[in-house]
Amino acid sequence: MFTKILIANRGEIACRVIATARKMGIATVAVYSDADKDARHVKLADEAVRIGAAPSRESYLLADKIIEAAKQTGAQAIHPGYGFLSENEAFAKRCEEEGIAFIGPKAHSIAAMGDKIASKKLANAANVNTIPGYNDPISGPEAAVEIAKGIGYPVMIKASAGGGGKGLRVAFNDKEAFEGFASCQNEARNSFGDDRIFIEKFVQEPRHIEIQVLGDSHGNVIYLNERECSIQRRHQKVIEEAPSPFISDATRKAMGEQAVALAKAVQYQSAGTVEFVVGKDQDFYFLEMNTRLQVEHPVTECITGLDLVEQMIRVAAGEKLAIAQNQVKRDGWAMECRINAEDPFRNFLPSTGRLVRFNPPEQTMWQADTEHLYGVRVDTGVYEGGEIPMFYDSMIAKLIVHGKDRSDAIAKMREALNGFVIRGISSNIPFQAALLAHPKFQSGDFNTGFIAEHYAHGFNASDVPHSDPDFLVALAAHMNRRYRARASTISGQMRGHELVVDANYTVVVLGAQGHNQHFDAQVSDFEFDSRKSVVTLNGKRYEFQSHSAMRELRLQGTCNGQAFTVQVERGTPKNPLALRITHNGTQIDALVLSPKGAQLHQLMPYKAPADMSKFLLSPMPGLLVDVTVQPGQKVQAGEKLAVIEAMKMENILFATQDGVVSKVSAGKGDSLAVDDVIVEFQ
């Protein structure tokens, strides 16, 4: 067994590998860019080596620097994690030539499966079901349009070396095929250094289900059940679960056997994943094989009780698999939510900056621990006070739960999301909460088009219906009563003018454009020491008790005997006197006033925001890759104006109306902050 390994990655996956290495008694070496010098993985590792500047092409993609770091520190093996060099055939081969073990498959397996065109041909030869399409590289966008017409729309345009949603577009017409080809080629060239593109038929209403395989150097290959990954946005997974609520035991077995046959055909040694698209009649087709550890591997660890990182290390060290196919377990139900630094209320644009608060829910399961299951686990590479850089992926944490069945897993996940405190940047937690509450998700009736279908016009607060909206209003009244009671105990109050706490309140729930709602609430039976009160609202009685301190954002307690976890914040960006209550993805901003105060508040005029329609503003922090207009140019609604790149994704900004450009305020290569002016119109 190795005594020291180097992790050629960053973020949560680097921390994940360190956890298993520590359990196995193996020393670890971290590598880091300038942007990551204070990152969590650097602090956790036994040693750390700087390998370059912030952009990944100047650091984490530099094979020479990583090999040099391994030699310099005496690391006998390198774990690549996922992304970066994890599926780079040349890097795996270089490690072998340098006498450093690559904790992953052999270079020839990566070569065979890492190229989507070659892998599809190989799958056909191995009698694995494949999707019809054009499997050779395409010369240009005009050829792409002709090929797409021949296959029949809709088609999927994919980069041969793509992955993680990069270099992938779905086209429903000639225009989308033409533009999609160019975007895919640009993203693939920038992310992978390989701009070959191919096209295949897009299977409508598909499920994305993948089989985890594990092989050793002695010819043994097993499959570790499946993962359901159909909940996707822009072809990137949002929620994953194991097992799938859709497939039968017979389909599971057939898919597993095909995955094993494919792995054996390329002499696969390590953990890998064979991805399938599954139709509504459980007909399935091979998509691709990921020759690395997957982001969603924890759900498989929960239901099988296997540490997949440990298995990878043991295989790389030459050991045989410890279990046979008939010993693979499938216990309970696991689910994972990807917590991303993005704003769901602004079309999921990246959100970077300092993590002012980062307080995950209480963990009862831990990385590398396969004994303490049926609970909550958080995999992350960030910490409170740390910086979220613009150079890397938007995922900052993975929230994993393990329940006795699917409904138990959903309930655990909803409660865990309620207790996940993130401030300073935006996160997609409200969106995750909305997905978990959706009736079709809860019934297991969904496919890869679920988000596009149900959130076709974006995501907003009204997409998160609460089972009892009055609960949030009543809780605001309860918390205000606690704040008032504490204020009444402050010493030095003028005699005869002490603060007197009333029992009657009006809760003003602040709405968009000044459309507020008013609720009369009575707070009785208040006990300061036991933190109890009874709130009467709309004829309903809410008996609250909570021992959480008022300074805490996460409030845990009971309402009418039922446990709850909510987040309560004093002061909002728009109103420092408001209370912000967040529960099950629903958020309200409320002023708790005396009845007279509420009457006066109604007289306050609404101040409309300034008209910014004559400006193209940067919707996020990022790098301005291109500006396609000039002063004096006439533009039409829908015309491309600029391209911004952030967190490895290209975002195209379009004109929302016809107009004439009066000034271009930013140039190609500029770093932009949110709301920086790019273009002004007459």
- In whole angstroms, give the CA distance from residue 20 to residue 573: 42
Tell me if 92 sits within 8 A of 106, measured CB to CB: yes
Neighbours of 372 (CB within 10 A): 12
Give the CA distances from residue 83 to residues 71, 86, 222, 277, 290, in Å, rounded to whole numbers and listed in that order: 22, 6, 24, 22, 10
Task: Give the class (CATH, top level) of 207-463.
Answer: alpha beta
Look at residue 193 in the predicted model and tell me its pLDDT. 83
- Second CATH level (architecture) for the domain 615-681: Beta Barrel (2.40)
Residues in the chain: 682
pLDDT over 70, % of the chain: 100
Tell me where in the chain the CATH 3.30.700.30 domain(s) lie: 469-489+499-602
- CATH 3.40.50.20 domain position(s) in the chain: 4-103
**Which residues in the chain are classed under CATH 2.40.50.100?**
615-681
Model confidence at 319, pLDDT cuts 50, 70, 90, reads very high
Catalytic residue (choose from 12, 176, 226, 288): 288
pLDDT tens digit sequence for 520-577: 999 999 988 888 999 999 999 999 999 899 889 999 999 999 999 999 999 988 889 9
Mean pLDDT of the chain: 93
Q: Catalytic residue at 288?
A: yes
Q: Give tens-digit pLDDT for 602-649.
A: 998 888 888 888 999 998 888 899 999 999 999 999 999 999 988 777
Rounded distance between C-alpha atoms, residue 63 and residue 94, angstroms: 8
Look at residue 164 in the predicted model and tell me its pLDDT.
Answer: 66
pLDDT higher at 415 or 393: 415
pLDDT value for 395: 94
CATH 3.40.50.20 fits 4-103, yes or no: yes
**Superfamily designation of domain 132-201:** ATP-grasp fold, A domain (3.30.1490.20)
Residues 6+ apart with CB under 8 A from 472: 466, 566, 581, 583, 586, 588, 590
Interval 419-426 mean pLDDT: 95
Among residues 102, 103, 44, 13, the alpha carbon closest in space to that of 297 is found at 13
User: Which ranges in the chain are annotated with CATH 3.30.470.20?
Assistant: 207-463
Q: Quick one: pLDDT at residue 588?
A: 94
From start to end of 476-618, where are the E strands? 504-509, 517-527, 532-537, 540-546, 554-559, 562-570, 579-583, 586-593, 615-617
Q: Which pLDDT does position 136 carry in this prediction?
A: 80
pLDDT tens profile 106-117: 999 999 997 777
pTM of the entire structure? 0.85
Overall average pLDDT of the 234-244 stretch = 95
Class of CATH domain 469-489+499-602: alpha beta
